[in-house]
């Protein structure tokens, strides 16, 4: 891809994402290590979006990787500045998930759901598979916090391999570039519309919609945290983005961990 192709694609994205404010910089590159790392290195406070067609060293949660081949994955990051300290951003990754799931549904894709805290899921014939994920990295100063919001979405099924969750994709194979553009623009537009709402009202503006999309609503689940595992019935998220688990005698608020369905007990 030439520099001209990249700027044509960036212009097309901007044209199709009318919620993107005029002061946001929108860039597309053919290949990079990690769009999150690239935006973390940009020291100016200017809001920007960076899309990469291929990503060689992409990072996921808990040290996982997220590589992307051209056309097979939508990989991009946004860098936005919020007033105040990082603790005001609890629930941001869940709000991002709501905006993305709703945008993809509006583009005609069915079976979208959210898995606490950061996974975008899609029905794949054998239950639900992981369609995408969100990785948010923060840099705080006295008066503001810069958030780099990284998003990876499988357009085509990823190559066979060992994945923490079975994968899902939007298409059966690599889609034409028109579809990349359509989906990238829809995701960008949805986030550009959602982030000011989050800045003003926090996750409380999204919590009901998140709970409607909750993959595990009412299910017996186990949450693997850093220190311990906890089992219970998944109630949903609260207005701070914590996961509420009904443990029988009490409701536990879980702040971090990986959720999985609890294996049925055999008699």
- Minimum CB separation of residue 251 from ligand BTN in Å reads 27
| Residue 34 or 214 having the CB closest to ligand BTN | 34
**Contact partners, residue 253, CB within 8 Å, separation at least 6:** 238, 242, 243, 244
| Residue 146 or 232 having the CB closest to ligand BTN | 146
- Minimum CB separation of residue 148 from ligand BTN in Å reads 8
**Contact partners, residue 224, CB within 8 Å, separation at least 6:** 257, 258, 260
Which position has the token pair 């311990």? 228
Helix, coil or strand: residue 122: strand
| Residue 48 or 235 having the CB closest to ligand BTN | 48
| Residue 135 or 183 having the CB closest to ligand BTN | 135
**Contact partners, residue 194, CB within 8 Å, separation at least 6:** 95, 96, 98, 99, 206
| Residue 64 or 253 having the CB closest to ligand BTN | 64
Give the E-state strand segments of the chain in sequence order. 25-32, 48-55, 73-83, 112-115, 119-123, 128-140, 144-154, 220-224, 229-237, 243-246, 251-254, 258-261
- Minimum CB separation of residue 250 from ligand BTN in Å reads 30
Give the residue at shortest CB distance from ligand BTN: 133
- Minimum CB separation of residue 35 from ligand BTN in Å reads 4
Contacts to ligand BTN by CB under 6 A: 34-36, 55, 58-61, 64, 66, 75-77, 118-119, 133-135, 150-152
- Minimum CB separation of residue 56 from ligand BTN in Å reads 10
- Do the beta carbons of residue 25 and residue 44 sit within 8 Å? no
């Amino acid at each position: 891809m030439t520099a001209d192709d990249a700027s044509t694609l960036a212009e097309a994205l901007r044209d199709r994402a009318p919620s993107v404010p005029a002061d946001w910089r929108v860039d597309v590159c053919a290949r990079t290590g990690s769009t999150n790392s690239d935006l973390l290195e940009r020291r100016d406070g200017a809001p920007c979006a960076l899309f990469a067609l291929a990503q060689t060293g992409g990072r996921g949660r808990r040290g996982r990787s997220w590589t992307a081949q051209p056309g097979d994955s939508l990989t991009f990051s946004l860098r936005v500045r919020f007033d105040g300290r990082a603790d005001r951003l609890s629930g941001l990754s869940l709000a991002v998930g709501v905006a993305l799931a709703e945008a993809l549904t509006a583009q005609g894709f069915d079976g979208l759901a959210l898995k606490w805290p950061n996974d975008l899921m899609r029905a794949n014939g054998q239950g639900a598979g992981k369609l995408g994920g969100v990785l948010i990295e923060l840099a705080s100063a006295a008066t503001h916090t810069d958030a780099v919001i990284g998003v990876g979405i499988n357009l085509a099924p990823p190559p066979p391999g060992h994945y923490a969750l079975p994968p899902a994709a939007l298409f059966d194979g690599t889609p034409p570039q028109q579809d990349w553009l359509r989906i990238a623009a829809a995701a960008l537009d949805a986030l550009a519309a959602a982030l000011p709402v989050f800045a003003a009202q926090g996750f409380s503006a999204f919590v009901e919609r998140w709970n409607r999309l909750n993959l595990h609503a009412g299910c017996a689940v186990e949450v693997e945290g850093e220190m311990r595992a906890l089992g219970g019935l998944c109630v949903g998220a609260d207005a701070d983005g914590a996961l509420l688990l009904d443990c029988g005698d009490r409701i536990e608020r879980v702040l971090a961990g990986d959720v999985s369905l609890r294996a049925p007990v055999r008699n």
